[in-house]
């Protein structure tokens, strides 16, 4: 299974081009479009979303994750295996929280392979897509000249384990934070723009139009 996690949006051609590469390179693989509107240019916010959503997928799932404002620059192209799942994408903090929460230390490889066509502005299609397809199809990265084992960079170590910010607003207008609800004390007070936000179990627990926060279906605190 290949799981798409991008900020490409679903209105333009980019997501379709990514899917075309995957179907061409790994036609037998199921492709799941998990998120196409990850926070634009915000790899930190996207990192907390990816970590929260990835746990629903089975071992050996391959996440093709592209939130890449530095595309074509000096950031490394990586393959990471963490908690039994594969992640392919840029070394820009997008995998920081996934790696940090891994059950055992994650394995990391830098991609040494260069495709015949490599657009400087679309590594998701030309580089990361084919690599994700190869891994999903069973190709080993160990002792493979296209991959070089490397250390996981800790340059994002100052990011908190849980982010007390709104990182995503969904289709219904709910504001999702980077806080895992279970890490908060039961009597913790949540404030938004200077206003205390009461906690409730779910939408039907409060009156229509009343603001509240709760633990959403993915374990994050949501307002």
Model confidence pLDDT, tens digit, residues 163-209:
999 999 999 999 999 999 999 988 788 888 888 999 999 999 999 98
Q: What fold is seen in the domain 2-149?
A: Rossmann fold (3.40.50)
What was the pLDDT predicted at 38? 97
Strands 31-35 and 77-82: unpaired
Could you say which residues of the chain have pLDDT below 50?
none
pTM for the predicted model, two decimal places: 0.95
Three-class DSSP labels, the chain: CEEEEECCCCCCCHHHHHHHHHHHHCCCCCEEEEECCCCCCCHHHHHHHHHHHHCCCCCCCEEEEECCCCCCCCCCEEEEEECCEEEEEECCCCCHHHHHCCCCCCEEEEECCCCCCCCCCCHHHHHHHHHHHHHHCCCCCCCCCCEEECCCCCCCCCCCCCEEEEEEECCCCCEEEEEEHHHCCCCCCEEECCEEECECCCHHHCCCCCCCEEECCCCEEEC
What was the pLDDT predicted at 117? 95
Q: Locate tokens 């502005």: which residue?
A: 121
What was the pLDDT predicted at 35? 97
What was the pLDDT predicted at 180? 97
What was the pLDDT predicted at 75? 94
What was the pLDDT predicted at 69? 96
In order of 64, 70, 71, 97, 101, the CA distances from 220 in angstroms are 22, 28, 29, 14, 15
Evaluated on CA atoms 70, 95, 152, 17, the torsion sign reads negative
What was the pLDDT predicted at 193? 86
What was the pLDDT predicted at 108? 97
- The domain spans of the chain are 2-149, 163-222
């Amino acid at each position: 299974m290949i799981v798409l996690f991008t900020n490409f949006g679903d209105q333009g051609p980019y997501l379709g081009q990514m899917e075309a590469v995957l179907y061409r390179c790994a036609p037998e693989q199921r492709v799941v479009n998990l998120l196409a509107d990850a926070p634009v240019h915000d790899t930190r916010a996207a990192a907390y979303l990816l970590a929260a959503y990835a746990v629903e997928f089975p071992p050996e799932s391959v996440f093709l994750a592209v939130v890449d404002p530095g595309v074509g620059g000096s950031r490394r192209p990586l393959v990471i295996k963490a908690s039994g799942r594969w992640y392919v994408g840029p070394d820009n903090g997008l995998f920081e929280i996934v790696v940090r929460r891994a059950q055992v230390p994650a394995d990391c490889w830098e991609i040494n392979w260069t495709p015949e066509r490599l657009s400087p502005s679309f590594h998701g299609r030309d580089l990361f897509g084919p690599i994700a397809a190869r891994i999903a199809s069973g190709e080993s990265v160990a002792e493979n000249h296209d991959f070089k084992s490397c250390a996981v960079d800790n340059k994002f170590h100052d990011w908190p384990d849980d982010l007390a910010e709104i990182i995503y607003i969904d289709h219904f207008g709910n504001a999702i934070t980077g806080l895992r609800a279970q890490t908060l004390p039961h009597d913790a007070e949540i404030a938004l723009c200077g206003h205390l936000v009461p906690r409730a179990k779910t939408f039907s627990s409060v009156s229509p139009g009343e603001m509240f926060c709760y633990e959403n279906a993915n374990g994050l605190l949501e307002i």
